[in-house]
Amino acid sequence: MTPSRRHFLQSSTAIIALPVLESLGFRRFASAAAPAAPPKRLIFLGFGWGITDTTWYPDIKTPGPDYALTTGLKPLERHKKDFSVVQGLWNKYSNEGHWGSTMWLTGANRYAQPGQSFHNSISADQVAAAQIGLQTRFASLQFNSSENGDMSGHGPGLSMAWDVSGKPVGGQNGPVAAFHRLFAKDTTPLVQQKAMLAQKRSVLDAVIDNAKSLQRGLAKNDNAKLEEYFQGIRDIETRLSKEEQWMEVPRPKAPIKEPAVTAQGNGRNEIELIYDIMIAAMLTDSTRVMTFRQPVATLLTAMDIKVHPHDMSHYHTTLGEKLDASQRRDLAQSELLAGFLDKLKATKEADGSTLFDNLALAYGSNIRTGHELSNCPTILTGRGAGLKLGHNIVAPKDTPLCNAWLTLLHGVGVNVERHGDSSGVLKEIAA
C-alpha cells in the first residue's frame, strides 16, 4: 500500500501512535520503516491545599532507596522503584497560603514590580513549550477541572500556565472541553478558514501600526506598559502562525471515547478522564507539554466527605474529621496517580518503548498544609529525563523548587540557563 499525501498528513501528528496508524491501514508501511525515536514530554500535575505532612512524607532520616513508604503514599507501592519523593524544596517568595499553583511553576516574587500587589513570571511548562512545542499542533495544553479553582486551593490563574509576560494562560475546563480541543473536527470550509485567518492578521497589523504611532513621545513607565502590550501582540502572532501551519492537517482520530457530560463534577472521574486524555494527546503527538490543575473540592464530595477543603487543610488545629478527610484525600490522590502510571507504562510507542520511558512528570503543590509553604510536596517520575528514581531525596536547606524544574527542563532537552529563582540544577535528582 502506498499512502497518499492526505493519509500522510492525517497521520503526521500520530507518527508515534502505532495503534492509530494501524487503524488507518498503515500496518505494513509503519513496520517497513525504522520507527523514529519517540519525543520527550513534560507533564506537571498540581493540586491545592497540600497534603497531610505527618503521614505523607517519608522519614528524612532514611534518604535513599531503602526508605519506608508512608500511609499517604501506600497506593503507589507497586511503582516505588519508579518515582522519587523530593523533600526540602520551596519557592522562597511565596507568601499566600491559599495559592497552591499560582507560583508553583514560576517561583516568582508577587511584589517584584514596585507599586503592584501582584506580579508573576513565565511557568516552567511554557518555557518547555517554546522549544519542544514547535513541532506539534498544540505547543502546550492546559487542563483544569470543571470546578472553581479557588475551591481547590489553586489561587489566581486561568490554569497552571503563565506566559513570558507573567500573564495567565487559559486552559480547558473539564474533560469534555479537553476532548473537543484535541479531537473535534472543524467543519468550516478551508477557504473560509483562510479568509478568517487573513482577517485576523489584517486587524493585528492595524493594531500594531496604531500602537507604534502612539509609542513616540511616551514617558518611560508608559513605554514599559506598551512593551508588555507588544508582547501580547507577539503571542497572538505566534498562535496565528501555528493555526496557519496546521490548518490543512486534519485532527487525528480520537483513540478514546468522548467523555460524557454527566462525568463532570465528580472529581475522581474527572481526574481519571483527564489522565486518559493526556495519554491520547501523547499517542497522537498533539502536544508534548501538559499541565493539569486538579480538583480537590469535588474529589472530596465524590468520596462523600462533608468537610470543606479549606478546613480540611487545617486538620492540625482540631484533628478528628478534618484529619480523617485529609488522609483519605491523600490516599485517593495516590491511587489515581498510581493508576495513571500503570497506563503510562502499559502504553507502547512505535519503537516498542512506553510512554513512561519518554516523559518527565512532576506531581505536587506549592502548599504543604494549612498555610505552610515550605517543603512543597514533590514527586518526580518518568524515565525520559534521566532522573534518579526510587529514592527518598532530601535536598539541601533552602533549595529553590525551581532548581528541580530547571533539571527537568534540561532532562527533556530544553536549553535554558535558569528558571525563576533557580540557583542551578538539582544534582540530587539526577541519575
**CATH code at 91?**
3.40.720.10
- Per-residue DSSP letter, 64: B
Mean pLDDT over 173-189 rounds to 88
Note the pLDDT of residue 225: 63
Mean pLDDT over 417-425 rounds to 97
Going by C-alpha positions, the residue among 175, 142, 147, 145 that lies closest to residue 159 is: 142
Element (H, E) at 398: strand 392-400
Instruction: Flag whether pLDDT at 214 surpasses 80.
Output: no
Note the pLDDT of residue 290: 98
Mean pLDDT over 308-336 rounds to 95
Note the pLDDT of residue 401: 98
**Cβ contacts of residue 343 below 8 Å, gap of 6+?**
275, 276, 279
Instruction: Flag whether pLDDT at 367 surpasses 60.
Output: yes
Q: Which residue has the higher pLDDT, 206 or 37?
A: 37
The DSSP string of 230-282 is HHHHHHHHHHHHHHHHHTTSPPPPPSSPPPPGGGTT-HHHHHHHHHHHHHHHH
| Residue bearing cell 463532570 | 264
Q: Which residue has the higher pLDDT, 19 or 323?
A: 323
Instruction: Flag whether pLDDT at 308 surpasses 60.
Output: yes
Going by C-alpha positions, the residue among 393, 398, 388, 386 that lies closest to residue 423 is: 398
Note the pLDDT of residue 373: 96
Residues 199 and 272 in one domain: no
* Residue 202 confidence class, pLDDT cut points 50, 70, 90: low
Q: Which residue has the higher pLDDT, 52 or 194?
A: 52
Residues 1 and 61 in one domain: no
Q: Which of 10-24, 203-217, 275-289 has the highest mean pLDDT?
A: 275-289
- Per-residue DSSP letter, 348: B
Residues 305 and 318 in one domain: yes
Residues 304 and 369 in one domain: yes
Mean pLDDT over 46-52 rounds to 96
Helix, coil or strand: residue 289: strand
Residues 286 and 405 in one domain: yes
Note the pLDDT of residue 21: 38
Instruction: Flag whether pLDDT at 6 surpasses 80.
Output: no
Note the pLDDT of residue 34: 53
Note the pLDDT of residue 22: 38
Instruction: Flag whether pLDDT at 1 surpasses 60.
Output: no
Residues 45 and 162 in one domain: yes
Q: Which residue has the higher pLDDT, 1 or 251?
A: 251
Instruction: Flag whether pLDDT at 23 surpasses 50.
Output: no
Instruction: Flag whether pLDDT at 346 surpasses 90.
Output: yes
The DSSP string of 152-169 is GT--SSSSS-B-TTSPBP
Instruction: Flag whether pLDDT at 137 surpasses 60.
Output: yes
Rounded Cα–Cα distance for residues 95 and 71 (Å): 29
**What percent of the chain has a predicted confidence (pLDDT) above 70?**
80
Note the pLDDT of residue 115: 87
Instruction: Flag whether pLDDT at 13 surpasses 60.
Output: no
Note the pLDDT of residue 242: 67
Note the pLDDT of residue 287: 97
- Mean per-residue pLDDT of the chain: 87
Which of 12-26, 50-64, 245-259 shows the lowest mean pLDDT across its residues? 12-26
Residues 170 and 229 in one domain: no
Instruction: Flag whether pLDDT at 32 surpasses 90.
Output: no
* Residue 149 confidence class, pLDDT cut points 50, 70, 90: low
For residue 396, CA distances in Å to 17, 95, 235 come to 41, 21, 38
**What percent of the chain has a predicted confidence (pLDDT) above 90?**
72
Residues 303 and 354 in one domain: yes
Residues 13 and 112 in one domain: no
Note the pLDDT of residue 31: 37
Residues 366 and 282 in one domain: yes
Which of 17-21, 232-236, 279-283, 346-350 shows the lowest mean pLDDT across its residues? 17-21
Q: What is the pLDDT of residues 380-395, one digit of tens each?
A: 999 999 999 999 999 9
Note the pLDDT of residue 239: 67
Rounded Cα–Cα distance for residues 40 and 358 (Å): 5
Mean pLDDT over 55-80 rounds to 98
Instruction: Flag whether pLDDT at 246 surpasses 90.
Output: no
Instruction: Flag whether pLDDT at 193 surpasses 60.
Output: yes
Rounded Cα–Cα distance for residues 339 and 345 (Å): 10
Mean pLDDT over 10-35 rounds to 37
Note the pLDDT of residue 7: 36
Residues 233 and 278 in one domain: no
Mean pLDDT over 403-425 rounds to 97
Q: What value, to the nearest 5°, has the Cα angle with vertex 171 and ends 170 and 176? A: 145
Residues 372 and 232 in one domain: no
Which residue range(s) make up the domain with 110? 38-177+258-429
Mean pLDDT over 133-160 rounds to 92
Total structural domains within the chain: 3
